[in-house]
Structure 1
Amino acid sequence: MLRFDDPLPRQPRRVLVAGVSGSGKTTLAARIAAVTGGPHTEIDGLFHGPDWEPRPGFRDDVLAFTAEETWTTEWQYSSVRELLAERADLLVWLDPPYWRVTFPRVVRRTLGRRFRRTELWNGNREPPLHTILRDPEHIVRWSVSTRRTPAERVPAAERAHPHLTVVRLRSTREADAWLTGPLRASTA
C-alpha cells in the first residue's frame, strides 16, 4: 500500500476511490478525473432511482462505463464492488480521522442538503431529519455503522487483486499533495 508521497508505478487509467460515507470520495474522484483526463461517473447517480429505489439497469450501466479505457468512480455497492476492483488499476483509499473529520462533514453535508432541499439523484432529496432516529440506513447512521468497513475491504482487495495499486490518503493535506505530486507526475 502506497503513501501519499510514494510515486505511482504507472499512469492510472481506471480509478476507484474508497472511503466511508462523508469522507469526500466523490469530490476526490472528480479531482482525480480532472488530472487523469478521464470521465468521472458518480456511482450514486447510477444506483439510486426515484424514491431511493435501486435502478434496475445499475449493473449494466457499471459494466458499460467500466469497459471504457479510462474512468474514475467511487468504490461502492456490493453488487458491483468486485467487478470494479477487477477492472480498476488504482484504488485510492480516502481515510481521514472519522470522528474529527468525516463525521462532522457528513452531518454538515446532510443538514445543508436537507435545508436547501437539494435534489440529489433522480429526484431524490435528503429525508426529514427525524428519520435519523428510526432509519438505520439514514446516511449519518450509515456512516457511523460502516466507518470501519474500508479498513477491512481495502486490504482484502489489495490481496485479491495483485494488479491493483492502492494508495492510502489520511487527510485533505495528503490528498492535495498526492494529486499535485505523484498523480500529476504519473500523467506527465
Structure 2
Amino acid sequence: MDAPRRINVVGTSGSGKSTFARRLAHQLGQPYVEMDALFWRPGWQESDDPSFFARLQRALAQPGWVLDGNYQRTAAMKWRDVQMIVWIDYSLIRTLYQAISRALRRSFSGEELWPGTGNRESFRRSFLSRDSILLWTLKNFRSNRRRYVEAFADPRLAHIQRVRLRSPAAVETFLLSLH
C-alpha cells in the first residue's frame, strides 16, 4: 500500500503532535501545514472563522499534506479528503511534562512561534495567566480524549485510516513502518 498523501495529526496541546507532524511530513516528502500558524495573527489575535477557513481551504487544496491541528469546528473541512488521522494520545502526566518543558524552553529562548506574527511565549503567559496553555491542557485533556475516542469509533469515518499512538515508542515504530 502506498503511503497516504493527506494526513491530519491530532492530539491535545503538549502531546508532541507538531514535532511528530513535522517529522512525518519530512519523511513522506509532503508539505507540513500547521493550523495554529493559519489561525493566530500578530499580537496573539485570533482569526475570525471566515478568514481562518479560507486559509485552511487553500492549504488543503494541495495534492498532499500533513496537517497538524485539532480545531474541532474544521473537522468537516479537513476530514473531507483526509486519508489518515494520527492521534498522538500520551498520558496526562507525559503530556504535561512535555508542555511544561516546551513552555520553559520557549519562555527563555524567546522564539517566535509562527513567522511574521511576533507571537512569543513568556513565563508569565505560560504559567501565570488565564491564557496559559498549561491550564488549557489541564482543563481540556479529558474532553479531547473523549472526543477522539468517539471520532475513532464513528462509522461515518470508517473510510479513513485511523492510527492511535500512545507512547514515544509507538511513534517511532509507526515512522519506521512507513519506510
Q: Deviations over 1:27-56 (max 9, x none)?
A: 110111122221001111111001111234
* Corresponding residue for residue 13 of structure 2: 21
Give the secondary-structure state (helix, strand or coil) at the position aligned to 2:141.
Answer: coil
Match among 54, 58, 70 for residue 46 of structure 2: 54
| Counterpart Cα distance in 1 of 2:38 and 2:23 | 19
* Corresponding residue for residue 3 of structure 1: none
Contact 1:40/1:73 (8 A) holds in 2: yes
Contact 2:22/2:32 (8 A) holds in 1: yes
* Corresponding residue for residue 63 of structure 1: 57
Contact 1:29/1:74 (8 A) holds in 2: yes
Point out where structure 2 has 5 or more consecutive residues left out of the alignment. Answer: none
More strand by share: 2
Contact 1:75/1:81 (8 A) holds in 2: no
Change beyond 3 A, Cα 1:52–1:165: same
Deviates more, 1:148-157 or 1:61-70: 148-157
| Counterpart Cα distance in 2 of 1:168 and 1:74 | 15
Give the secondary-structure state (helix, strand or coil) at the position aligned to 2:33.
Answer: coil
Change beyond 3 A, Cα 1:54–1:178: same
Quote the offset at 1:147 in angstroms.
Answer: 1.0
TM-score (normalizing by structure 1): 0.84
Quote the offset at 1:128 in angstroms.
Answer: 4.0
Is 1:80 aligned to residue 81 of structure 2?
A: no
* Corresponding residue for residue 91 of structure 2: 97
Point out where structure 1 has 5 or more consecutive residues left out of the alignment. Answer: 1-8
Partner letter of residue 107 of structure 2?
R
| Counterpart Cα distance in 2 of 1:141 and 1:95 | 18
Is 1:34 aligned to residue 26 of structure 2?
A: yes
Higher relative contact order (CA 8 A, sep 6+): 1
Quote the offset at 1:102 in angstroms.
Answer: 1.1
Contact 1:13/1:69 (8 A) holds in 2: yes
Give the secondary-structure state (helix, strand or coil) at the position aligned to 1:142.
Answer: helix
| Seq. identity, % | 32
Contact 2:112/2:120 (8 A) holds in 1: yes
Deviates more, 1:75-84 or 1:88-97: 75-84
Q: Deviations over 1:80-123 (max 9, x none)?
A: 13311222110011111221x11111001101111121211211
* Corresponding residue for residue 157 of structure 1: 151
Partner letter of residue 23 of structure 2?
R
Contact 1:93/1:167 (8 A) holds in 2: yes
Give the secondary-structure state (helix, strand or coil) at the position aligned to 1:166.
Answer: strand
Number of residue pairs matched?
A: 173
Give the secondary-structure state (helix, strand or coil) at the position aligned to 1:65.
Answer: helix
Match among 165, 169, 174 for residue 173 of structure 1: 169
TM-score (normalizing by structure 2): 0.88
